[in-house]
Amino acid sequence: MNKIYSKANILYIPVLLILALYVVYPFFDGIRIAFTNWNGFSQKFKYIGLANFARLLTDDSVRVAFVNTLIYGFGSTLLQQILGLFCALLLTGPYRGRTVVRTVIYLPVLFSAFVMGAMWYYVVQYNGALNDIVTLLGHAKVFWLSQHTVTVSLFVLINTFQYMGVSMVIYIAGIKAIPVTYLEAATVEGAGAWRRFGQIILPLLFPALLTSITINLIGGFKLFDLIMALTAGGPGYTTHSLATLIYATYFGGQQAGFSAAIGLLLFLTILFFTIVFNRIVRGQEVEFT
Amino acid sequence: MKRFLGFLAVVMLSTLVVATLSAQSKTLTFSVNWLPNDEISKTFQGMAAAYSSQNPGVKFEFSALGSQYEAIMKTKMAANDLPDVFTTHGWSVIRYSEYLTPLNEQPWFSKINPAIKPVITNKSGQVFVLPMDTEVACVVFNNDVLDKAKVDPFKIKTWDDFMAACEAVKKIGKIPVHIGGNPKDDWTVGNFYDWVAPSFLITNDKDNSREALVDGSFDWQKWGPVASLLVAFRDKGYLNPDYTQGTWEDVGKQMASGDVAFGFFGSYLIGEAKKYNPKGHYGFMPVPAASSSDSPTVITGERAAVGVWKDSQNKAETLKFLAFLARPENVNKVATVNANPTGLVGAGYQSKLGDLTPYYEKVAGVRGFPYFDRAYLPSGMWDSMCKTGTGLLANSMTLDQAVAKMKSDYLGLRNQ
């Protein structure tokens, strides 16, 4: 038996090679590039020490993109957990049509984020459907995609709408794993719906909560396609996330070294908040015996 | 064992056959920076097909990469894996020369139009592209709109005159200037600055920042008036109403439909407008000066220029193809499609400029300057102009922030 298992270990090698080539090597090479003034296409460059990292602290576009990234991440995640859990609670009951409703809610997840952005562009652009309604109501057209607060909020809402199905599915699985006897016992003891939710369902959902928050937070922090489809990070640098700023700085600004430094900032941001949330939520997990 | 040897023999034989056949045919990769459906792309593709038919065994892998061209080419340069032949969209010296074959020894070299030669020659006197046309970029206008507004474009000498003309256009209910303005099409705003900046910083022989911009001593507070002009146009209501959402397509359509008077684009805008309204009357005028002590000017530069990758495996064949492109009938075709004078001059070289001929004659004696960002800013600052421009238009950046960003990018990119 040990021989079979040891032979099976060979099957890891192709995956490890692919990971090494397309994940590990680019990651460390990216760190190296962050110490250079490489423009992204020339064969010539110089090592410039920590200059790119120092610039992270002073560049306005990085500051704006960093704040936007936190909004996209936390804003989307919060709404996705609330709406995802709400849908999951509604759709775990035994009634006809729940599978269809679950499917409809999950369907946007299957769309490419760029396609979702392209569809919404025709709604929110200056000559789009939303402004048609606004003018019908007798008001002047609104620049929905040119005002920072409005546009950033739109991104959070569209991202929430697209991926709340992921949270819903995770919570449905978590709710189904809760032994029915706990809830029956609580009902017999006189606990109402809110008490059953707050004191039985929610504590037992913490593992699902952790998974859902982690997935949605990473997705929100890495928001790229939706922004590129709607505003390409503009006007100016107003709606950039760190991910889109990396792209714009590398290809548009021809500053690959600085772009790599921004990439490292994004990686550390995601790592930091993922670890923090893991610690917080794991500490709240309960087990009923 | 016998089966294995038999299989090995078949594989080796097949490989030999394929290799022999491949050696007899060549495939050249040819990339251009326009969209597949653009007339210019189809023209180049047609020329590649014509070359193949005249040279059996030579095939082309043609790609028209459109808006992703620059990003893709930068990636290819980083990997040192470029197409055999590609267009350089104005950047043959500053960006691509490291990867291009010098072409000074080519038979057509002596025929290069003197008007474009300075902008495609590096400090060592090397030329890296075959210029198929010579761009003479001015301010494009719709003649019918200006006639209705009773504006004579050739009486406009300064930005004050231009604003008075815009006021006249606005009074008849038309849009004076279509800036485009969409952040996804922000090159339309960058273009505005490329047109306007020289009048404030370059063209005045008595008061200019030509050397300061090149040697790094430029005072970036002088960018303020350049950036402010766009804001002034916006505040006076001279721009398209959707000035933060308008696309390049909108510029062409509204120029064609007679809703817009002026566009800060090359004559390719006229080509674009004619797609929607071939019967429209369009023209162009020199770019106004910033003061009455200066005179209007035009912008000259590369438009359709083709280079050869220095590490191409098919160098000889590619240079032969370039010589084919340099034939008068091919140069004339490309220049006509772009509504520009030819990039080579001499017997047989003449593009059909049609109803634009009088305008080219009118600007023939006007001083020409190279594209501002290509000649006076470090490579990469085109993006800074585009972003700060859209930021100012949408009020998401103040003037001070825009100037600071331009300065910071200028200093950072100069050190690359």
| pLDDT tens per residue across span B273-323 | 998 999 999 999 999 999 999 999 999 999 999 999 999 999 999 999 999
| pLDDT tens per residue across span A114-154 | 999 999 999 999 999 999 999 999 999 999 999 999 999 99
- Distance between A31 CA and the closest CA of chain B, angstroms: 17
If you compute the radius of gyration of chain B from its CA atoms, what whole number of angstroms results? 24
Q: Is there a contact between B183 and A143 if contact means CB atoms under 8 Å apart?
A: no
Cβ contacts of B231 on chain A, cutoff 8 Å: none
* A residues 158-217 lying closer than 8 A (beta carbon) to B: none
The residue that leads in pLDDT, B25 or A69, is: A69
Q: Which two tokens stand for residue B136?
A: 């003479």
Q: What percentage of chain B exceeds 90 in pLDDT? A: 85
Report the mean per-residue pLDDT for chain A.
92
Cβ contacts of A48 on chain B, cutoff 8 Å: 415
pLDDT of residue A289: 55
| pLDDT tens per residue across span B229-241 | 999 999 999 999 9
Is B374 in the A-facing interface, judged by CB distances under 8 Å?
no
| pLDDT tens per residue across span B149-162 | 999 999 999 999 99
pLDDT over threshold 80, residue B88: yes
- Distance between A166 CA and the closest CA of chain B, angstroms: 30
Owner of token pair 């190296």: A32
Domain of residue B64 covers 24-134+303-345
pLDDT of residue A10: 84
pLDDT over threshold 90, residue B20: no
pLDDT of residue A288: 57
A242 half-sphere exposure, CB direction, 13 A CA radius = 26
* Lowest-confidence segment of A71-80, A130-139, A176-185, A254-263 by average pLDDT: A176-185
Q: Is there a contact between B384 and A238 if contact means CB atoms under 8 Å apart?
A: no
B367 within a domain of the structure (yes/no): yes
The complex's ipTM works out to 0.86
pLDDT of residue B86: 98
pLDDT of residue A287: 60
Helix (H) or strand (E) holding A199: none
Residues B245 and B212 in one domain: yes
Residues B144 and B100 in one domain: no
pLDDT of residue B206: 94
CA distance B241 to B222: 29
Is B416 in the A-facing interface, judged by CB distances under 8 Å?
yes
pLDDT of residue B128: 97
CA distance B404 to A252: 18
**Partner residue opposite A232 with nearest CB, options B183, B392, B393:** B183
> Residue A186 — very low, low, confident or very high, per pLDDT cuts 50/70/90?
confident
Residue B289 sits in a domain whose CATH number is 3.40.190.10
Residues B341 and B365 in one domain: no
Q: Is there a contact between B380 and A39 if contact means CB atoms under 8 Å apart?
A: yes
pLDDT of residue B350: 94
Under DSSP, the state recorded for A73 is I
Residues B182 and B217 in one domain: yes
Report the mean per-residue pLDDT for chain B.
93
B8 within a domain of the structure (yes/no): no
Q: Is there a contact between A236 and B391 if contact means CB atoms under 8 Å apart?
A: yes
Under DSSP, the state recorded for A41 is S
SS (H, E, C) chain B: CHHHHHHHHHHHHHHHHHHHHHHHCEEEEEEECCCCCCHHHHHHHHHHHHHHHHCCCEEEEEEECHHHHHHHHHHHHHCCCCCCEEECCCCCCCCCHHHECCCCCCCCHHHECCCCHHHHECCCCCECEEECECEEECEEEEHHHHHHHCCCHHHCCEHHHHHHHHHHHHHCCCEEECCCECHHHCHHHHHHHHHHHHHHHCCCCCCCCHHHHHHCCCCHHHHHHHHHHHHHHHHCCCECCCCCCECHHHHHHHHHCCCEEEECCCCHHHHHHHHHCCCCCEEEECECECCCCCCCEEEEECCCEEEEECCCCCHHHHHHHHHHHCCHHHHHHHHHHCCCCECECCCCCCCCCHHHHHHHHHHCCCCEEECHHHHHCCCCHHHHHHHHHHHHHCCCCCHHHHHHHHHHHHHHHHCC
B36 within a domain of the structure (yes/no): yes
Residues B405 and B269 in one domain: yes
Residues B129 and B143 in one domain: no
A130 within a domain of the structure (yes/no): yes
Q: Is there a contact between B379 and A253 if contact means CB atoms under 8 Å apart?
A: no
Question: Which of the residues B390, B397, B413 would you substitute to probe the A interface, choosing the one with the greatest number of A C-beta atoms within 10 Å?
Answer: B390
Under DSSP, the state recorded for A10 is G
Q: What total of structural domains would you count in chain B?
A: 2
Residues B148 and B241 in one domain: yes
> Residue B22 — very low, low, confident or very high, per pLDDT cuts 50/70/90?
low
pLDDT over threshold 70, residue B93: yes
Helix (H) or strand (E) holding A160: helix A148-176
Residue A90 sits in a domain whose CATH number is 1.10.3720.10
CA distance B172 to B167: 9
| pLDDT tens per residue across span B58-68 | 999 999 998 88
For B90-113, what is the mean pLDDT? 95
Instruction: Give the length of chain B.
Output: 416
pLDDT of residue A280: 83
Cβ contacts of A231 on chain B, cutoff 8 Å: 183-184
A170 within a domain of the structure (yes/no): yes
pLDDT of residue A1: 60
* A residues 129-168 lying closer than 8 A (beta carbon) to B: 141, 143, 145-148
Within 8 A by CB and 6+ apart from A217, the residues are: A73, A74, A77, A270, A273, A274, A277
pLDDT over threshold 60, residue A261: yes
Q: What total of structural domains would you count in chain A?
A: 1
Q: What percentage of chain A exceeds 90 in pLDDT? A: 76
pLDDT of residue B19: 61
Q: What number of C-beta contacts closer than 8 Å exist between A and B?
A: 107
A4 within a domain of the structure (yes/no): no
pTM of the model: 0.88
A60 within a domain of the structure (yes/no): yes
